[in-house]
Chain A
Amino acid sequence: MNFTVNLNEFQEAVNKTLPAIPPKSTLPVLEHLKFELNDNLLEIISTDQEITIKTQLNVENSTPGKILVPGRKLNDILKALGKTEKITFNSNTENFEIDLITDFGAYKMKGLNNDEYIELPELFESNVDISDSSVVDNALLPKDDVIRLADKTAFAVSSDDFRPAMTGVLFQFRGQFINAVSTDSYRLVKSTYNSEEINLPNELDIIIPSRTMDILKKADDEVHFSFIKNNDKVTHIKFKVGSTIYISRIIDEKFPPYESVIPQSNNIFLKVNKNQLQSAIKRVAIFANDITKQIRVKIEPTQMTLTAQDIDSGTKADEKISCSLEGEPVEIGFNYKFLDEAISHINTSSDGEIVFSLSESNKPALLMPEKDSKELLMLIMPVRLNN
């Protein structure tokens, strides 16, 4: 197998397949990229058996063939070859040696026989793309919306493997809109995408692993979702971004009933400038106990006071910022990390302000870009103040 290719394009293609290359695998073969070349079209596949990635690119002067290429090593050398325009790839079908040749250098590495690769289920060939006209079973989303959904939700995913449902983001497809929801039981995010028309699957709930969300965060083109079913049950999500196809296992668990924990009757509303609040939190947090990360927020009609105290080291800070309050004054404790993360994921309305909605000091607090926001809702569980 031989080909010559534009270095930049090659770099990009290899880079796309990296998320499915495990750093250290029990199956060494998975640390390799599967190269398959036909008619000047190079197909690269990687898989860690949870996520499978297939990308394609055009090459020149090729002779067809198949080989397994050490993924990290290839990526490292391609990254380091800054200025070369073209690179030639030659592989020996007998001993699986690979030679990379540029204008000024030659690099040799050892590949593996293509036959040693694990058997990939026929996921790429499945017929899910063929639409049944009566049911929408796929979804085409603009790039920015996908990135937004992923970015808003991925940070609040639980890292506790013992609650698998929470280690992913729930996607609720509802015909005209999608809710993306994540929670780690201490906070919850719900981000919504609204389509102008009914062109989304209806009543379909799947949980997408957070690693897959990280890929979606980096989408560089519109994303075409479809679903792979087994016995009428969705087992994988497949999405195509540009010339790359991703197939990811979904988390087959029941997501907690999140709607029921979102308070509906909060009667305290607070408007505050996002940047002011965020920089105040950053300063005050320096004086908080770094184990509990607790920060107190006292809300009064025209100002809110942030207080942090660490008795161990004898530090204390408080800071006041102005706000406008609708409802009764209240005092509430938060983990400042949760508070800060939530705030930084809120895009403000034009006035630079965000809205808190509260009821009591030990009830969940809601944060949103504006009152009755349809687009984004963050919920944070408070820390009990015990004196």
Chain B
Amino acid sequence: MTLNKSNTINILPDFIANQIAAGEVVQRPESVVKELVENSLDSGATEIAVIVRNAGKSLIHIIDNGIGMSKSDLELSIKRHATSKILTQTDLESIKSLGFRGEALASITSVAHVEIITRNKNDQFGHKLISEPNKPAILEEVNSNQGTQILVKNLFYNVPARRKFLKSNLSEFKAISETMIKFALAFPSKRFTFYDDENLIFDLNASDLETRVIATLGTAVKDLLIPLEYKEEGISIHGFIGKPFLARQNSSNQYLFLNERTIKNRYLNHAIMSCYEELLEEKRYPFYVLFLEVDHKTIDINVHPQKHEVKFENDRLVYNIVKNAVMSTLREVNLIPEFKIDAELSYSPFQIERNDEDKPVMINRSTGEIIERSEQNIRRISNNFSNWQKDEYNNTNFTEEINSNLNSIFNERQDQRFEYLLIDDRFIIVKELEHLIVIYKRRALQRIYFEYLVDSFNRNQTKSQDLLFPEELQLEKKQISSLKSNTENLKDFGFILEYNEESITITSVPEIIINNNIKLIIERISNNLLSIEHSDSEEIFEYIAKVIAISINIRSNENKSSEELKKIYSDLFKCKNPHHSPTGKLTTFSISYSELEKKFRL
């Protein structure tokens, strides 16, 4: 075909239209996998196998045990906008199936060699369809099992531009594998088998969600999952969130599903992240696998051909519900620091697992070597291990009440001098009846100051100290305006500022920060205000409180006497979240004397 310079408008031939549409739906091998597995799921399959070769560039092979297609369905399936999933406009408004646009197969057949073998459960024989772009499809009768098999070969062989844009096998394969994990998580009741050429990547039998999560994401997550169940305003959320310990440096451990469909939503992600704010350091991403069930009518998933993005009728409501769900779950489990002796555990690379015959074997985690041992021997080792872990939890779960009881007993009996000890001007050691509590002084004070600020802000009781000599601080215009738009908030904290063209004048400061570098604190506040994305006032004041709390300069010559150390200790445990600093760093842990004993036994 030659496109000449004539100005005539032409209706594009079908195959070109399909190729263009394919560009939207089928961008890379991963999209093919996604579209086809969705079709399999929609067909009611309970077992789905995916085999890829050369990262899907040479072959993508999907096998399912779904309902299958009849001969006429099969012929229609590769036509554009052929879909079994929508009949009317009303259907479109409440889409429950994963696919619906009727684009997938048509698009794929326009850019690859496709072979479909299928047998509908009502048919005696199956059918095979062989399709090549821009050629009539060949249809024949074959013997086959119920279900559908689709082979996609030589993807993009006729679209060099697209082929060129494919990434390395490694990253294309990673994308497919990520998608397969998402399916596996979203549908724990279905069996997923996934092969890279002849290598089995996983074969996950139908199970409950927890088992599925552990099976897909690794046994490392096992004890660190917090189950979540929440319902509000017709929106229900379930799944697992991870303890802070599971957080990673990137967002790869975050899975969000909306009505079983994996979605990306920065807004909801922010809702979850904000709950962890005080538990994690900056740039650490909490683990979550969460499923949102929302009335299909209140969402629009037809925003994007890949259906990753979703529009909510009332996104503010969903945001708040997600936030409430995660927040209340975190509060319930009362995140107590777990003194996991990681370093010690890793000294022993041996891990007890059960083999296929349900016999315990020992696996050397560092070499992958499997050591078969006599049952007795292994039991002994594994008992030691499990006791060890039990001890850890038992001894670290202290509550404030118990502490104060212990304390009062203690105060009467023990020599004060040995009760609170400051080491290296950084750590406070508190001796309790059965364990030592170790406190990171600086972080503990940050936590105390933070909660003090939040409390007094809430009670409208912050104190403001006037300056004899107002401080002038040069700032950029945007910094000034960020402060200016928060004048009232700042005033509630005790900051009284005057705004000039290119500077501000500080005339009054919160009493808590006197003797500190006021200018630095103000500058930090302005920078933080600039970086807030969603600004509701509750967040802003916590931000400000956080900046102030972590900026307070704790002089090393202060807080040295036993009395003062005791005060830090008791103030810390009066805090709502004593175990983490406002930036989510650990403030304290306890170690029992029996754990200490064990350290010497190693």
Q: Which of A158, A185, A188, A294 contacts B511 (CB 8 A)?
A: A294
Q: Give the segment of B276-284, B435-443, B514-522 that binds chain A.
A: B514-522
Of B452, B514, B518, which is within 8 A of A335 by CB?
A: B514
- By a CB distance below 8 angstroms, the chain A residues around B40 are none
Residues of A within 8 A of B (CB): 158-163, 183-188, 256-258, 261, 290-294, 311-312, 333, 335, 362, 364, 379, 381-384, 386
What CA separation (Å) do A290 and B459 show in the bound complex? 17
Q: How many residues of B are in contact with the other chain, CB < 8 A?
A: 31
A contact patch SS? loop
Which residues of the partner chain B approach A362 to less than 8 Å between Cβ atoms? 466
Q: Does any Cβ of A come within 8 Å of B465's Cβ?
A: yes
The reply to whether A335 and B465 form a contact with Cβ atoms under 8 Å apart is yes
Instruction: Identify A290's interface contact among B455, B471, B515, B567, CB under 8 A.
Output: B567
With A160-B516, A162-B520, A335-B514 already in contact, the answer to whether A383 and B468 are too (CB < 8 A) is no
CA gap between A364 and B465 in the complex, in Å: 11
- Chain B positions 459 through 500: 1 when the CB is less than 8 Å from some CB of chain A, otherwise 0: 111111111110100000000000000000000001000000
In the complex, A311 Cα to B452 Cα: how many Å?
11
Closest A residue to B567 by beta carbon equals: A290
Q: Count A-B pairs with CB separation below 8 Å.
A: 77
Specify which chain A residues have a CB less than 8 angstroms from the CB of B555 in the assembled complex: 159
Q: Does B512 contact A (CB under 8 A)?
A: yes
The 4 closest A-B CB pairs, nearest first, are: A256-B469, A384-B464, A292-B511, A292-B463
Q: Are B515 and A159 in contact (CB under 8 A)?
A: yes
Query: In whole angstroms, what is the CA distance A239 to B28 when docked?
Result: 82
Q: Is the CB of A183 within 8 A of B468?
A: yes
CB distance from A330 to the nearest CB of B (A): 16
| Distance in Å: Cβ of A234 to nearest Cβ of chain B | 23
Give Cα A386–Cα B463 distance, bound, in whole angstroms. 7
Q: Is B508 among interface residues, defined by CB-CB distance under 8 A?
A: yes
Q: In whole angstroms, how far apart are the Cα atoms of A184 and B515 in the complex? A: 8
Can you give 14 contacting A-B residue pairs, CB < 8 Å? Answer: A158-B515, A159-B555, A160-B516, A185-B469, A185-B471, A186-B467, A186-B514, A188-B468, A292-B463, A312-B574, A383-B463, A384-B465, A386-B460, A386-B461
- Chain A nearest CB from B475 CB (Å) reads 15
Known contacts A162-B519, A335-B514, A383-B511; is A261 also within 8 Å of B463 by CB?
A: no
- Interface check B240, CB cutoff 8 A: no
Docked Cα-Cα span, A228 to B468, in Å, equals: 32
Do A383 and B465 touch (CB < 8 A)?
A: yes
Q: Mark contacts of B499-535 with chain A using CB atoms, 8 A cut-off: 1 yes-contact digit, 0 otherwise.
A: 0000000001001101111111000000000000000
Taking CB atoms, residues of chain A closer than 8 Å to B469 are 183, 185, 256-257, 261
1/0 per residue, CB under 8 A from A, across B117-159: the answer is 0000000000000000000000000000000000000000000
Contact assessment for B468 and A185 in the assembled complex, using a CB-CB cutoff below 8 Å: yes
- B288 at the A/B interface (Cβ < 8 Å)? no
Residues of B near A312 (CB, < 8 A) are 452, 455, 574
* Cβ–Cβ < 8 Å partners of A188 in chain B: 468
User: What CA separation (Å) do A122 and B420 show in the bound complex?
Assistant: 50
B287 an interface residue at 8 Å Cβ cutoff?
no
Contacts A311-B459, A384-B463, A386-B463 given; does A292 touch B512 at CB 8 Å? yes
Q: Are A291 and B449 in contact (CB under 8 A)?
A: yes
A162 touches B517 (CB 8 A): yes
A-side contacts of B520, CB under 8 Å: 162
- Chain A residue at minimal CB-CB distance from B552: A291
Q: Which residues B219-236 have CB closer than 8 A to chain A?
A: none
How distant is A365 from chain B, measured CB to nearest CB, in Å?
11
Q: Cβ of B468 and Cβ of A293 under 8 Å apart? A: no
State the Cβ distance, A65 to closest chain B Cβ, in Å: 39
